[in-house]
Structure 1
Amino acid sequence: MKHDVATKALLDIDEQIDSLVKQIELLSYVNPTNIEEEKTRFFSSKYLTDPVFKYPEINFDRFKLHRALFTLPLEQIEDTTVKNLYEDIIYAYSGLIQCIQTIGDGKKFYYNCLRCFGTPTENDVENAKFILHFEEENQEEGVFKPKYTAPETEVFFKDYSKKYDFSYNIKYSDKISAIAMVLNNVKTLVLNSNHKYSENEIAVLTNHEIGVHMVTTMNGLLHPLKIFSHGFPNNEETQEGLAVFSEYMSNNLTIKRLKELAYRVIAVDSLAKGYTFSRTFRLLHNQYDLEREEAFYITVRAHRGGGFTKDYLYLTGLKKIYDYYHAGKDLSLLLTGKVSLEYANEITTLIDKGLALPSKHITDAYAENKNANKKVDFILKSLK
C-alpha cells in the first residue's frame, strides 16, 4: 500500500510512540508484590495498622521517555482531527509515566492518578449508594458455589473461545489481585491459581475477559496504526464498560456484581476524602457489612500505589455503554481496539482514510440481548 508524505509521517510517529510505550504497562507496576503477607498482618492488627506494600522495580528511564514523546514532530500530521488525537495520546502517556514513577509515593501518585483517571462525582457516588439498596440474589444456588480450580476453569475458557477465530495463551498466577485478567501486550489470559471458580464466575469471565478484552486486543493488532493496540486516552472506562456490558447482554450480570462495582466507587470516593487504608476498609466492612476478604481486596485496589482512582470507571463506563447501545449506536466501532467512546468520530475518520479497519472479531454476547434480569435493567436505566 503506497503512502503519501503526510501518511508516512503519521505512520512514523505512530511507530515511534509504539516503541516508547511498550515499556509502560501501568498495571504491571501498581500491583503490590506482598498482598497476602500484608493481609495477614492487617487482620491481626484488628484493622488498625495500614499495610505497607512493596512494588516491582521500574526498569525504564522516565526522562528519556518524556523527552522522546514531546519531541515527536506532530506538525507533520496534516489532518487536524488526527493531529489532535495524537496530541491527546502523548499527554495521556506522559501522565501514565508520571503515575508509574510516583507509585508508592502517597500524595504524588494520587494526584497523578487524578489527572489520568479523575475521581467520582457526587452523581457517581449517589449512583453507587442507589445500587447498594437492592437485595442480592440468593447466593446459595449451585451456580454461585466455588468448585473449579484454575486448570479446570481453563477447559471452559478453551471451549468458549471456539466461537472466535483467534488463539491466545493461558497462564496461572498466585500474584494477581483479580481472579482473572488479560495481558494485552502478550495476548495472555492469566487465571488466579489461589481461586476456586463458580459457574457464574466462569460465565462472567469468559464474556468479559475473552468476549471483550481479548477481542479488542486481537482487533487492535490488525490496524496500520499501533495506537489501537496500546490504547487511546481514557480507554479504560470504555473498555471496562464494554466488558461489563457483555456480562449484561449474556444474562450474567447480577445485583451482586453491580454492588461490587458500587463498592469500588465508594472506596475511591473515600480516598478522595482523605481516608487511610484502614478507614476505607472499616467503612466497607463495618458500615456496609461487606465480608472482610472482599472489603480488603476492594480497599487494596483503590489504595495501591498511594491511591489508584481508576476503579470507579467500571460503573460510569457501564452506564455510558448501556445508553450508547440503547440509543441504537454501533458497538462494533468500540471493539476496534483499546479505544474510547469520546473518540468515536476519530475512529470513523481513520477507517475512512484506510488507516484503520472495521472490527474483524465481534463480541459474541452482542449478537442479541439475553438479559432477563428486570431488576438489573431497572437499575441501569435509573442511574443518573
Structure 2
Amino acid sequence: MYAVDKSLHKLLKDIELLAYLNPNNIEQEKKRFFASKYTIEPVFTYTKPKFDAYKLQRKLFSHRLSLISDEAIRALYEEIIYYYSGMVQCIHTIGDGEKFYYNSFKVFGTPTDKDVDNARFILHFKDVTDPDAIKIHNAAAAQAYFESFSEHYNFPITILQSTRIASDAMVKNSEKTLLLKKNGHFSNNQLKILAHHEIGVHLLTSYNAAEQPLKIFSNGFPRNVETQEGLAVFSEYMAGALTLKRLKTLAYRVLAVDSLRKGYRFMETFKLLHFDYQLNKDDAFTISMRVHRGGGFTKDYLYLTGLQKIFNHYNEGNSLDTLLTGKVTLQHKAVIESMMTQGIVVPSLHKNMAYKTNSNTNTTVDFILKNLR
C-alpha cells in the first residue's frame, strides 16, 4: 500500500486542475464583453499543462493494486486511479469546448432537478440590507486581515496576490499558499467568510494532510470537492458569517452550471443571471466565467450540495474531525476511521476553531438550511 501511495504521489503531486483552469486574461475579456454590450463570447486563454496526458494515464493504470491486502483500501486506490485519470483528461482538454465539458461532467457531475429546485428556493427569499456587505477593503487590507486571522492557527501562512485567479481568494494546495485577487475589493463580512473558508478549512486540511503517512490525503480522495467545499461553507455558517447573500451566490452557481446542461453559451448564462434574476453585472460575469471556463466547468454546483450534506451530518450528532484529516470525502469516512484504527491514519493535528461553537444567529439562513430537499 505504501509503495503504491508513494508512486501515485510522484505522478499526482502537480496535478492541480485550477492551476491550469484559471484563465490568464479574465480582466481583459471582461472589459471586452462589457464594451460589446454583452454580445460577444469571451475568449479565455490558459496555461498549457507540463505533462504528457497519455503517458501519465498509462503509468496510473500500471500499479499493481492486488498487492494491497485490505479490500476496502484496495477499492479506494482503484477509485483514486480512475478519478485522477479523469482529472488528467480534464486538464488535457481545457479550452477544447465539448471535450472539456464532458470530462468535467464525468469528474464532477451536474446538478439534479432537486438541486436546481433548492437553488430556486433560496432565491425566493427577499434580499436584506447588509452594511457589512459594502466592499471597502483593497487586497493589501485583505492580506493584513488574513495574516492576523491566521494567528488563531498553529501553521504558517503564505499569501500571494494574483491577477490570474477566478475567485477572490483560493488555496493552492500543493504549495500551501493562499492566493488573493490583486485587484479585488472586499467587504467586512466577505473577509470573515474567506478567512473561515480558505484558512479555516482549505489551508487547514492541507496542513493536516501533510501529517499523514499516506500522500493521497494531500493529493485528494476521489470526488473530494463536494465534501471539502461543504466543510468550508459550513465553517462560514458556524462562524456566524454565512448570509442570505452568500447562499444566493451558491444558488446562482447551481443555476449557471445547470445552464451548461441546457447548452447555454457564456452570454446566455450571463443574461440569465443579470436580466432574469437581476444579479449585478460584475457578479453575473464572475459566476458565468467560473462555469464556462475551459469549455464548461461543472464543479460550482457542489458548494451548495456539499453544505447541505455537511449541515445534515453535523446535526445528526456526528463529529467532523475525521473529515479534516486531509482532502477526503464524507463517503469514505468509514474507510478512514478503519485506517485510523489500524494506525495508518493519524488524528487531525489542527482543528477548525469555528466548529467549537455555533455562532450563527441568522434565522433565515437556519430556516433555509433545514428545509433544503
Same structural fold, with TM-score higher than 0.5 when normalized by the shorter chain: yes
Displacement of 1:194 in angstroms is 0.5
Map of 1:40 onto structure 2: 31
Asked whether the equivalents of residues 150 and 157 of structure 2 are also in contact (C-alpha less than 8 Å), the reply is no
Code of the aligned partner of 2:201 = V
Map of 2:146 onto structure 1: 157
Code of the aligned partner of 2:330 = L
Displacement of 1:145 in angstroms is 2.2
**Whole-angstrom CA distance in 1 between matches of 2:10 and 2:53:** 14
Bigger Cα displacement from structure 2, 364-373 vs 27-36:
27-36
Q: Are residue 99 (structure 1) and residue 90 (structure 2) matched?
A: yes
**Whole-angstrom CA distance in 1 between matches of 2:250 and 2:159:** 26
**Whole-angstrom CA distance in 2 between matches of 1:318 and 1:38:** 32
**Whole-angstrom CA distance in 1 between matches of 2:94 and 2:181:** 24
Q: Are residue 66 (structure 1) and residue 60 (structure 2) matched?
A: no
Once the two structures are superposed, residues 99-126 of structure 1 have per-residue CA deviations (whole angstroms, 9 ceiling, x without a partner) of 1111111111111111100000000000
The match for 1:331 among 311, 316, 320 is 320
| Alignment of structure 1 residues 197-212 onto 2, 5 Å | 197-212=186-201
Map of 1:227 onto structure 2: 216
**Whole-angstrom CA distance in 2 between matches of 1:223 and 1:318:** 25
Map of 1:20 onto structure 2: 11
SS of equivalent to 1:12: helix
**Whole-angstrom CA distance in 2 between matches of 1:208 and 1:136:** 23
Asked whether the equivalents of residues 204 and 252 of structure 1 are also in contact (C-alpha less than 8 Å), the reply is yes
**Whole-angstrom CA distance in 2 between matches of 1:334 and 1:297:** 30
Map of 1:246 onto structure 2: 235
Displacement of 1:288 in angstroms is 0.4
Q: Are residue 122 (structure 1) and residue 113 (structure 2) matched?
A: yes
Map of 2:203 onto structure 1: 214
SS of equivalent to 2:149: helix
Asked whether the equivalents of residues 236 and 313 of structure 1 are also in contact (C-alpha less than 8 Å), the reply is yes
**Whole-angstrom CA distance in 1 between matches of 2:197 and 2:32:** 33
Map of 2:332 onto structure 1: 343
Map of 2:104 onto structure 1: 113
**Whole-angstrom CA distance in 1 between matches of 2:342 and 2:175:** 29
Bigger Cα displacement from structure 2, 344-353 vs 124-133:
344-353
SS of equivalent to 1:189: strand
**Whole-angstrom CA distance in 2 between matches of 1:121 and 1:76:** 38
**Whole-angstrom CA distance in 2 between matches of 1:93 and 1:180:** 25
Q: Are residue 321 (structure 1) and residue 310 (structure 2) matched?
A: yes
Map of 2:295 onto structure 1: 306
**Whole-angstrom CA distance in 2 between matches of 1:259 and 1:270:** 16
SS of equivalent to 2:213: coil
Once the two structures are superposed, residues 11-62 of structure 1 have per-residue CA deviations (whole angstroms, 9 ceiling, x without a partner) of 1100011000123110011111111111122112221211111111111011
Map of 1:3 onto structure 2: none
Asked whether the equivalents of residues 101 and 295 of structure 2 are also in contact (C-alpha less than 8 Å), the reply is yes
Bigger Cα displacement from structure 2, 150-159 vs 367-376:
150-159
Asked whether the equivalents of residues 147 and 157 of structure 2 are also in contact (C-alpha less than 8 Å), the reply is no
SS of equivalent to 2:58: helix
Once the two structures are superposed, residues 242-288 of structure 1 have per-residue CA deviations (whole angstroms, 9 ceiling, x without a partner) of 00001100110000000000000000000100011111111111100
Asked whether the equivalents of residues 119 and 254 of structure 2 are also in contact (C-alpha less than 8 Å), the reply is yes
Displacement of 1:161 in angstroms is 1.4
Code of the aligned partner of 2:86 = G
SS of equivalent to 1:91: helix
Code of the aligned partner of 2:361 = A
Q: Are residue 363 (structure 1) and residue 352 (structure 2) matched?
A: yes
Code of the aligned partner of 1:17 = L
**Whole-angstrom CA distance in 1 between matches of 2:128 and 2:196:** 20
Asked whether the equivalents of residues 250 and 371 of structure 1 are also in contact (C-alpha less than 8 Å), the reply is yes
Asked whether the equivalents of residues 158 and 177 of structure 2 are also in contact (C-alpha less than 8 Å), the reply is yes
**Whole-angstrom CA distance in 1 between matches of 2:109 and 2:172:** 24
**Whole-angstrom CA distance in 2 between matches of 1:194 and 1:159:** 21
Asked whether the equivalents of residues 193 and 242 of structure 2 are also in contact (C-alpha less than 8 Å), the reply is yes
Q: Are residue 272 (structure 1) and residue 256 (structure 2) matched?
A: no
The match for 2:80 among 89, 109, 126 is 89
Displacement of 1:135 in angstroms is 1.6
**Whole-angstrom CA distance in 2 between matches of 1:146 and 1:330:** 35
Q: Runs in 1 of length 4+ with deviation above 2 angstroms? A: none
**Whole-angstrom CA distance in 2 between matches of 1:228 and 1:239:** 12
Code of the aligned partner of 1:341 = L
Code of the aligned partner of 1:146 = K
Aligned identity (percent) is: 53
Displacement of 1:304 in angstroms is 0.5
**Whole-angstrom CA distance in 1 between matches of 2:14 and 2:194:** 27
Displacement of 1:198 in angstroms is 1.5
**Whole-angstrom CA distance in 1 between matches of 2:212 and 2:339:** 10
- Gapped runs of 5+ residues in structure 2? none
SS of equivalent to 2:179: strand
Displacement of 1:182 in angstroms is 0.8
**Whole-angstrom CA distance in 2 between matches of 1:152 and 1:269:** 36
Provide the TM-score with structure 1 as the length reference: 0.96
Aligned residues: 373
Asked whether the equivalents of residues 137 and 254 of structure 1 are also in contact (C-alpha less than 8 Å), the reply is no
Displacement of 1:151 in angstroms is 2.0
Provide the TM-score with structure 2 as the length reference: 0.99
SS of equivalent to 1:185: helix
SS of equivalent to 1:78: coil
Displacement of 1:147 in angstroms is 2.0
Map of 1:5 onto structure 2: none
Asked whether the equivalents of residues 250 and 304 of structure 2 are also in contact (C-alpha less than 8 Å), the reply is yes
Map of 1:375 onto structure 2: 364
